[in-house]
Amino acid sequence: MPADPSVQDRQVQGLDALEMAPPRRSDRPAAVRVAARAWAATWPKLAAVAIVLVAWQAVVWSGWRPVYVLPGPDQVLPRLFTEVASAEFWEAFRVTMRRALTGFALALTVGVLLGLAVTRFRLLRVAIGSLITGLQTMPSIVWFPFAMLLYGISESAIMFVIVLGAAPSIAGGLTSGIDYVSPQLMRAGQAMGLRGVQRYTLLIVPAALPMFVSGLKQGWAFAWRSLMAGELLVIINQQNSIGWALSQARQFNDSEGLLAYVLIVLCVGIVIDVFFNWADRSIRRRWGVSAS
Amino acid sequence: MTATTESISTGTARASAIEIDHISKVFGEGTGAVTAIDGMSVSVRAREFVAIVGASGCGKSTLLSLVAGLAGPTTGTVDVGGHRVAMMFQESSLFPWLTIGGNIEVPMRVNGVPKARRRERVAELLDLVRLSGFARKRPHQLSGGMRQRVALARALAQDADVLLMDEPFGALDAMTRDILHDELERIWREKSLTIMFVTHNVREAVRLGDRVILLSSRPGRVIEEFAVEGERPRRIDSARIASQAAEITDRLKVEVSRHAG
């Protein structure tokens, strides 16, 4: 009899229990599982590094180029470690990262304002929507000659190019994030009386977050590229930076130093990428859209 | 004199929760205009459970959004007499970035309910839909039937006494739907709700409704109303429901055939 409350309760609970995935059991202790997972994530990366080092050394040994032009890892890696231990390197690193973060913050502000404006005003979207996409595909380095005319040999020229390179991606991520908020969620929000600011804070902004983060990640990649190009092209007098260190190394035919700095640029890129992937994954896990 | 008329008018207002009076709804203009609803009148008493059935294009969803006040009718009036109206859909439409508890809190945040009170209400409502202990889970961790119960709790968190349901169990398997019918009926009684329940499933309509309203398609009009007799809770597989459902289905088939060629 479905009328009996206790019978009904047991039916509902039984159904729920059947529909929920059975709890996963593991007889291995938690610490072992964490270690196993960390190892499974780490060893392919270590293997890849090893393969690259071996291939690099093999090219050096083949004698394709003299060793003073193409040094092997046995020379570059020790050089990398002495560089990283020097105060000069950290000064250069600090300057470059400060520029990167300032430029990215500027691009973020411009990108968010632009993205919001485009989603709010139809006319603006019609007018500049495709311009934003066009800017996104444009190699930002072409702006440098013009930026140097506008701002002279200065940090402002670099910032100008970073913003032009990164802001369109950030704006694009935000716009598509807002455009693709599921209409079902919008309808549910409307039915619950979400209006004005709350419609943004409780619904649109969190719903647009995954695409916005992809936009940020792409924007960062453009900002970092523009910055490296800028530091190589716009050499500000006496200002130490990673780009400056690279061009110094080239002028003194210091191939070990060159490769050491290339590796540093690569590492910074990887670290930031890991950060964005982590952000992306944790959002996906919360939303339940990832496979794991 | 005046006192008497007033008491009569408030009396009738209290008796009917939803008064839909000769409404029509036209989308678009000129030659491209589509009439979704044409001259429909429905009156729903307080605490009544009204099921609405019709084929595609009968304007069921349009009707519900007019009652919810999400859109205005082209002509005619919809009066919900100060009742608070909540809505439920076929998809639970829970926010995936919030926990179950967080989802139920959304309408209370809209209404400015203080945090401590919100937590209490979430516990009460989860208890009502038999999902105590699930407040910290996320929507994707629940089954479809459980998500619909959360959506029901979220609708009730609006402090609504009129509930509009747009095929809420359409995507569920038969067993789950069967059990949720019992659950909805229980909560409808416990909370003294007035329900307008739209469905494609005629048996479901007869199982749940005090009355079944049959709509025509393109444009939507009321064809006929059927009062459903029989003690609650009814069994969806009983002979009585089957025979009344057959009668309504036959009438619906006549309406569908009218649109052939």
* Best of B80, B93, B178 to mutate (most A CBs within 10 Å, chain A): B93
Answer yes or no: do B115 and B99 share one domain. Answer: yes
Give residue B154's pLDDT.
96
Give residue B7's pLDDT.
38
Give residue B13's pLDDT.
44
Question: Distances from the Cα of A267 to the Cαs of A48, A98, A104, B101, B222, in angstroms?
Answer: 14, 17, 18, 42, 70
Answer yes or no: do B105 and B70 share one domain. Answer: no
Last residue in a domain, options B158, B174, B190 = B158
Instruction: State CA B131 to chain mean position distance.
Output: 22
Contact state of B130 with A190 under an 8 Å Cβ cutoff: no
* Best of A11, A15, A197 to mutate (most B CBs within 10 Å, chain B): A15
Considering only the beta carbons, identify the residue of B109, B138, B179 that sits closest to A288.
B138
Last residue in a domain, options B143, B158, B173 = B158
> Hey, what are A140's tokens?
């930002």
Considering only the beta carbons, identify the residue of B91, B130, B142 that sits closest to A13.
B130
**Residue B90 domain-assigned?**
no
CATH number at residue B63: 3.40.50.300
pLDDT of A21 over the 80 cut: no
Contact state of B89 with A187 under an 8 Å Cβ cutoff: yes
- Structural domains in chain A, CATH included, are 76-282 (1.10.3720.10)
Q: Which of A82-96, A126-140, A201-215, B158-172 has the lowest mean pLDDT?
A: A126-140
Give B242's Cβ-side CA count (13 Å radius): 3
**Residue B30 domain-assigned?**
no
* Of residues A169 and A20, more confidently modeled: A169
Answer yes or no: do B116 and B63 share one domain. Answer: no
Give residue A292's pLDDT.
42
Residue B239, exposed/middle/buried by CB under 10 A (0-12, 13-18, 19+)? exposed
Is the Cβ of B176 closer than 8 Å to some Cβ of chain A? yes
Q: What is d(CA A199, CA A190) in angstroms, rounded to the nearest whole number? A: 8
Contact state of B141 with A12 under an 8 Å Cβ cutoff: no
**Range(s) of the domain holding residue B77:** 16-22+36-82+160-260
Give residue B8's pLDDT.
40
**Residue B66 domain-assigned?**
yes
Contact state of B97 with A194 under an 8 Å Cβ cutoff: no
When pLDDT is averaged across residues A224-230 and rounded to a whole number, the result is 93
Answer yes or no: do B174 and B152 share one domain. Answer: no
* Best of B65, B67, B95 to mutate (most A CBs within 10 Å, chain A): B95
- To the nearest whole angstrom, how far is the Cα of A208 from the nearest Cα of chain B? 11
> Hey, what are B189's tokens?
């009684």
Give residue A30's pLDDT.
84
Segment A174-187, tens digit of pLDDT = 999 999 999 999 99
Answer yes or no: do B190 and B145 share one domain. Answer: no
Considering only the beta carbons, identify the residue of A3, A184, A192 that sits closest to B158.
A192
Chain B residue at shortest CA distance from A2: B182
**What confidence tier does B32 reach under pLDDT thresholds 50, 70, 90?**
confident
Answer yes or no: do B173 and B244 share one domain. Answer: yes
Q: Which residues 6+ apart lie within 8 Å of A179 measured at CB?
A: A119
A-proximal residues of B, 44-103, CB under 8 Å = 68, 70, 86-87, 89, 91, 93, 95-98
pLDDT of A162 over the 90 cut: yes
Give residue A219's pLDDT.
94
> Hey, what are A155's tokens?
């940090």
Considering only the beta carbons, identify the residue of B91, B93, B146 that sits closest to A19.
B146
Question: Distances from the Cα of B127 to the Cαs of B145, B162, B163, B207, in angstroms?
Answer: 16, 20, 19, 25
Considering only the beta carbons, identify the residue of A184, A194, A288 that sits closest to B110.
A194
**What confidence tier does A4 reach under pLDDT thresholds 50, 70, 90?**
confident
pLDDT of B252 over the 50 cut: yes
**Residue B131 domain-assigned?**
yes
When pLDDT is averaged across residues A257-261 and rounded to a whole number, the result is 93
Answer yes or no: do B115 and B189 share one domain. Answer: no
Task: Tell the residue number behind the tokens 């993205």, with chain if given.
Answer: A115
Q: What is d(CA B105, CA B118) in angstroms, rounded to the nearest whole number? A: 6
Contact state of A20 with B143 under an 8 Å Cβ cutoff: yes
**What confidence tier does A3 reach under pLDDT thresholds 50, 70, 90?**
low
Q: Which of A130-139, B40-49, B140-149 has the lowest mean pLDDT?
A: A130-139
pLDDT averaged over every residue in chain B: 90
Give residue A206's pLDDT.
92
Q: What percent of chain B has pLDDT over 90?
A: 77
Answer yes or no: do B174 and B57 share one domain. Answer: yes
- To the nearest whole angstrom, how far is the Cα of B32 from the nearest Cα of chain A? 23
**What confidence tier does A290 reach under pLDDT thresholds 50, 70, 90?**
low
Considering only the beta carbons, identify the residue of A2, A203, A207 that sits closest to B182.
A2
pLDDT of A155 over the 60 cut: yes
Answer yes or no: do B178 and B216 share one domain. Answer: yes
Answer yes or no: do B111 and B236 share one domain. Answer: no
Give residue B57's pLDDT.
81
* Of residues A235 and B89, more confidently modeled: B89
**Residue B55 domain-assigned?**
yes
Contact state of A202 with B109 under an 8 Å Cβ cutoff: yes
**Residue B88 domain-assigned?**
no
- To the nearest whole angstrom, how far is the Cα of A196 from the nearest Cα of chain B? 11
Q: What is d(CA A4, CA A8) in angstroms, rounded to the nearest whole number? A: 6
- To the nearest whole angstrom, how far is the Cα of B132 from the nearest Cα of chain A? 11
Is the Cβ of B186 closer than 8 Å to some Cβ of chain A? yes
When pLDDT is averaged across residues A82-107 and rounded to a whole number, the result is 94
The domain total for chain B is 2
Considering only the beta carbons, identify the residue of B95, B175, B233 that sits closest to A3.
B233
pLDDT of A22 over the 80 cut: no
**Residue B214 domain-assigned?**
yes
pLDDT of A1 over the 70 cut: no
Answer yes or no: do B248 and B200 share one domain. Answer: yes
Q: Bridge-partner residues for B166, per DSSP?
A: B198
Give residue A42's pLDDT.
87
> Hey, what are A173's tokens?
């991520």
The SS3 assignment for B114 reads coil
B34, B77, B78, B51: which is closest to B168 by C-alpha?
B51
Contact state of A198 with B138 under an 8 Å Cβ cutoff: no
When pLDDT is averaged across residues A66-82 and rounded to a whole number, the result is 92
When pLDDT is averaged across residues A129-149 and rounded to a whole number, the result is 88
Answer yes or no: do B99 and B182 share one domain. Answer: no
- To the nearest whole angstrom, how far is the Cα of B92 from the nearest Cα of chain A? 9
Considering only the beta carbons, identify the residue of A3, A198, A288 that sits closest to B139.
A288
**Residue B5 domain-assigned?**
no
The complex's ipTM? 0.87
Last residue in a domain, options B158, B179, B195 = B158
Contact state of A191 with B138 under an 8 Å Cβ cutoff: no
* Of residues A171 and B1, more confidently modeled: A171
When pLDDT is averaged across residues B161-186 and rounded to a whole number, the result is 94
pLDDT of B23 over the 90 cut: yes
